[in-house]
Amino acid sequence: MTDDLRVTERPNEATVDVDLLSPLEVVRLINSEDRKVAEAVGRSDEAIARAVTGIMGSFGRGGRLIYVGAGTSGRLGVLDASECPPTFSTPESQVLGIIAGGDHALRHASEGAEDDAGSGSTALDAVAILPEDTVCGVTASGRTPYVQGALRHARDLGCFTILVTCNPGAELLGDADCVIAPVVGPEVIAGSTRLKAGTATKLVLNALTTASLTLSGKVYSNLMVDLRPGSYKLVERARWILTYLLGVSRERAGELFEASGRNVKVALVMGKRCLDRGTAERLLARCGGFLRKALSEPGA
């Protein structure tokens, strides 16, 4: 009876009669299903790596990563994109999240918006899509018309395209250059893809941007050296990084931080190589923003 249903829609045999359990039993059951998610994403590591390579290629050509999705999938794309500027000091336009129904759909269900394929392509035109961009369609079911319209339009323009789905039999598989399809199995509540599918999607998107931007020079070792210090917490993190890497006092770290124009990378080059701000900035620019290279480059 369920053979024709997508994986994300099928009833989960492990959670039959979940409505008869105690609160503790329900929580434990949800947790036992969630433990399967990371392993499913891990089995998609090669596809994720191919996607990262494509995204880095776009960045290298001055292009962007554009997520397109609806409902939970769309919200996760917007969330991932919104975290890139404070974490990596990316321009607001370098990683974008587009959701069917627009910003209203971030807080309110707009289910019907996902059925309009034409709106997907129109949304890409609204952000002036270019062949250098990467477009990542995010849809747990793998059949959302809005996402399909966007992916097909992007491919027609010559963009690198990615599909993130939790359905290995997704109808949109042929519309993407790279398919990432972690199979997490049926949901605790049949069809509720905000659960395991949503968690898997979050993990995949985390990996796409973190790996792409780390390998683009936004991270030194495992430290957030390109953060945007827009809050007290981030300013304190910047000072701690300087203290840790330079082996200086907190006061000296603060002095370097301010003298650098509140730029952790510049401050590190200034402190490590005893340079003034302008020279440190030029050295970093010559090294393409890669701190490791700037710290080891001969001369100044």
Q: Kindly list the catalytic residues.
A: 83, 114
- Rounded to the nearest angstrom, the gap between the alpha carbon of residue 299 and the centroid of all alpha carbons in its chain is 37
Dihedral Cα 84, 219, 197, 147, nearest 10 deg:
50
Query: Which token pair is 148?
Result: 């399909």
Query: Which token pair is 149?
Result: 């319209």
Find, among 253, 252, 258, 263, the residue nearest to 285 by Cα. 263
First to last CA, the chain: 71
Between CA 51 and CA 151 the distance in angstroms is 15
Between CA 265 and CA 9 the distance in angstroms is 48
Task: Using CB atoms within 10 Å of the CB of residue 73, give its burial: 0 to 12 exposed, 13 to 18 middle, 19+ buried.
Answer: buried
The answer to whether residues 200 and 76 touch, using CB atoms and an 8 Å cutoff, is no
Dihedral sign, Cα of residue 97, residue 69, residue 106, residue 204? negative
289: left (phi > 0), else alpha (psi -120 to 50), else beta?
left
Alpha helices by DSSP H, listed for the chain, are 23-42, 45-60, 71-88, 104-107, 117-126, 145-156, 196-213, 232-246, 250-259, 264-273, 277-286, 291-296
Find, among 41, 51, 106, 34, the residue nearest to 77 by Cα. 106
